[in-house]
Amino acid sequence: MADYVYGPGRTHLFVPGPVNIPDQVLRAMNRQNEDYRSPAIPAMTKILLEDVKKIFKTTTGTIFMIPTTGTGAWESALTNTLSPGDRIVSFLIGQFSLLWIDQQQRLGFNVDVVESEWGRGADLDVLEAKLRDDTAHTIKAIAIVHNETATGVTNDLTKVRKLLDTYRHPALLLVDGVSSICALDFRMDEWGVDVALTGSQKALSLPTGMGIVCAGPRAIEASKTATSRRVFFDWKDYLRTYNLGTYWPYTPSIQLLYGLRAALDLIFEEGLDNIIKRHNRLGTATRLAVQAWGLKNCTQKEEWFSDTVTAVVVPPYIDSNEIVKQAWKRYNLSLGLGLNKISGKVFRIGHLGNLNELQLLGCLSGVEMVLKDVGYPVKLGSGVGAAAAYLSNFTPFIPSRI
């Protein structure tokens, strides 16, 4: 491959997913295929289904672990709960919310799009007006991306739930938590989320290939009457195998199941609340570095800052695509591109998953060198110093070791 450049040492992966895979997870997946109809796989699956509920903070949800990506999990959430022509209020705030809206439209739903400037969160004032006016309850679902990785924006789901409750509106709340669940605070039961979903390659720190959907009781009930066509993503097939005790309507990835077991063990050892705090520290440190470089965050208000990705706006005379290209070619450092309408204007630093302080500081050091390479007058050490000064105030979690 002509563009491939070998670089000694480790690849430094700092995109907002896929993320670095812990060695313990790699070792757990390094195994032969097994017969998923043997007693071992259903026994493991049963426990996994209960343990996965913990990362959604739910006791009432039903888990579906589907061999797919987040895009497939999107489709599963929509087609199992809604019928063609149903009205969905959906928020367009960046590339991934745009893609979900495109899917909703192509599946035949009546999508009421609420668009915000990229870098801003969902416009909840518009949502309030729509809920207030919808006395006939024509809105069947609210679809929202919790954490938009294209722009580094996190939406406040508690405000969405409060609006639904204020107007006593029965619309289902469907949440894309692909880059938030198991990294940001997420409380499915407390916030009244009806369907939430995530992908294995994000905060779970697994390879791509498993879309995880959590359906609350109202969503399960809605699936009994929803008329959207579905086959591969049909919850009914899963529920049937759950009742039979076999758990899989088709062949799962055995290696991913063992990887998920190891990933959950690491998560529970660190503690989910500690993981959320760690992501906040790393996110804050990255934002301090960006400020020290004299650059701006794409996210326009502090209330929307994401703790899993920071989108950095570059000066007009610099092409952010060149930053990403040079980082990879010269330093073996993978950064996120600016997508769609912010292509060339923004690069993204992912600080998501099984990641520690020293890894982040290494990334920030690499970014500084790349900025210097492309002609930006950065003071080397400024961002790293600001981040390190902040991080040194905290004691990171270290598991007990012999």
Average pLDDT (217-235) is 98
**Could you read off the pLDDT of 112-161 as tens digits, one per residue?**
999 999 999 999 999 999 999 999 999 999 999 999 999 999 999 999 99
Last residue of one domain, picked from the residues 247, 268, 289:
268
Name the residue range of residue 324's domain.
Answer: 12-16+272-391
For residue 185, pLDDT over 90 is answered with yes
**Could you read off the pLDDT of 50-102 as tens digits, one per residue?**
999 999 999 999 999 999 999 999 999 999 999 999 999 999 999 999 999 99
Cβ proximity of 322 and 375 under 8 Å:
no
What is the reported pLDDT for 277? 97
Residue 11 pLDDT level (bands cut at 50, 70, 90): confident
What is the reported pLDDT for 8? 78
For residue 402, pLDDT over 60 is answered with no
Average pLDDT (173-193) is 98
Do 235 and 114 lie in one domain? The reply is: yes
For residue 2, pLDDT over 70 is answered with no
As annotated, the binding site includes 348
Assign 132 to helix, strand or coil. helix
Comparing 155-159, 297-301, 359-363, 397-401, which segment has the lowest mean pLDDT? 397-401
Strands (E), 209-275: 211-215
User: Does 5 map to a domain?
Assistant: no
User: Does 106 map to a domain?
Assistant: yes
User: Does 396 map to a domain?
Assistant: no
Among all chains, which residue has been given the structure tokens 């801003």? 120
What is the pTM assigned to this prediction?
Answer: 0.95
Residue 395 pLDDT level (bands cut at 50, 70, 90): confident
For residue 332, pLDDT over 90 is answered with yes
Q: Over pLDDT 90: what percentage of the chain? A: 95
As annotated, the binding site for substrate includes 348
**Could you read off the pLDDT of 246-273 as tens digits, one per residue?**
999 999 999 999 999 999 999 999 999 9
Do 174 and 55 lie in one domain? The reply is: yes
Strands (E), 71-138: 87-92, 110-115
Do 76 and 129 lie in one domain? The reply is: yes
Choice between 4 and 218, residue whose per-residue pLDDT is larger: 218
Do 202 and 88 lie in one domain? The reply is: yes
- Mean pLDDT, rounded, of the chain: 96
Average pLDDT (10-37) is 95
Q: Which residues contact 389 (CB under 8 A, 6 or more apart)?
A: none
Number of domains in the chain: 2
Separation between Cα atoms, residue 264 and residue 141, nearest integer Å: 31
For residue 397, pLDDT over 80 is answered with no
User: Does 397 map to a domain?
Assistant: no
What is the reported pLDDT for 1? 45
Do 52 and 201 lie in one domain? The reply is: yes
Do 94 and 164 lie in one domain? The reply is: yes
Q: Which residues contact 34 (CB under 8 A, 6 or more apart)?
A: 40, 41, 254
Q: Which two tokens stand for residue 228?
A: 């959207």
For residue 3, pLDDT over 80 is answered with no
Mark 27-57 as b/e (b = at least 16 C-beta within 10 Å): ebbeeeeeebeeeebbebbeebbebbbebbb
Last residue of one domain, picked from the residues 248, 268, 288:
268
Separation between Cα atoms, residue 108 and residue 265, nearest integer Å: 40
What is the reported pLDDT for 5? 58
What is the reported pLDDT for 29? 98
What's the burial of 136, exposed, middle or buried (CB within 10 Å: 0-12/13-18/19+)? exposed
Separation between Cα atoms, residue 206 and residue 286, nearest integer Å: 23
Residue 396 pLDDT level (bands cut at 50, 70, 90): confident
CATH code, domain with 240: 3.40.640.10
* Residue type for position 397: F
Q: Over pLDDT 70: what percentage of the chain? A: 97
CA quadruple 174, 132, 94, 295: dihedral positive or negative? Answer: negative
